[in-house]
């Protein structure tokens, strides 16, 4: 069990650029989640996958955001035309299908939009 990994750990981009983040969940976990955490706040849910199917999306996930999980393994989160308000920590988590459903979190990708 190598844990949830995320790449890159830090990303600085200019406003208007596109960025893509990757998450590798724990290998036997079929559920994968993306959260966004801004300074002084708790993580907020963005989207959820069960295997390769994206089953839930938050209203926070605007049209500029897209997430995929091809083949039910790793996942990518893309932000198009970044805005300064997108600056945040993007967290990925994974879990098994069965109770107690606890989620295991990755170290996050810190995005800074200048």
Residues 37 and 72: their CA atoms lie apart, in Å, by: 24
Q: Which of 2, 40, 59, 71 binds other proteins (CB under 8 A)?
A: 40
Residues 60 and 31: their CA atoms lie apart, in Å, by: 20
Choice between 14 and 101, CB closer to other proteins:
101
- Binding to other proteins (CB under 8 A) within 46-65 occurs at 48, 55-56, 58
The CB-of-61 to other proteins minimum distance in angstroms stands at 12
Taking CB under 8 A as the binding criterion, the range among 12-20, 30-38, 67-75, 80-88 that sits at the site for other proteins is 30-38
Query: C-alpha 64: how far from its chain's center?
Result: 14
Asked if 19 and 13 touch (Cβ cutoff 8 Å), the reply is yes
Instruction: Tell me the C-alpha to C-alpha distance, in Å, between residue 95 and each of 13, 85, 98.
Output: 30, 29, 8
Q: Does 21 bind other proteins (CB under 8 A)?
A: no
Q: Does 70 bind other proteins (CB under 8 A)?
A: no
Q: Does 103 bind other proteins (CB under 8 A)?
A: yes
Site residues (CB under 8 A) for other proteins? 3-4, 31, 33, 35, 40-45, 48, 55-56, 58, 91, 95, 99-108
């Amino acid at each position: 069990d190598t844990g949830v990994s995320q790449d890159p750990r830090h990303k600085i981009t200019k406003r208007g650029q596109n960025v893509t983040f990757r998450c590798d969940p724990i290998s036997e976990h079929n559920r994968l989640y993306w959260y966004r955490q801004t300074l002084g706040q708790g993580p907020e849910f963005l989207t959820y996958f069960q295997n390769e199917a994206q089953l839930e999306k938050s209203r926070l996930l605007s049209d500029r955001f897209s997430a995929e999980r091809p083949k039910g393994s790793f996942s990518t989160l893309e932000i198009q035309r970044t805005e300064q308000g997108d600056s945040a920590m993007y967290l990925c988590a994974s879990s098994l299908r069965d109770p107690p459903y606890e989620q295991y979190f990755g170290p996050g990708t810190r995005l800074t939009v200048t």
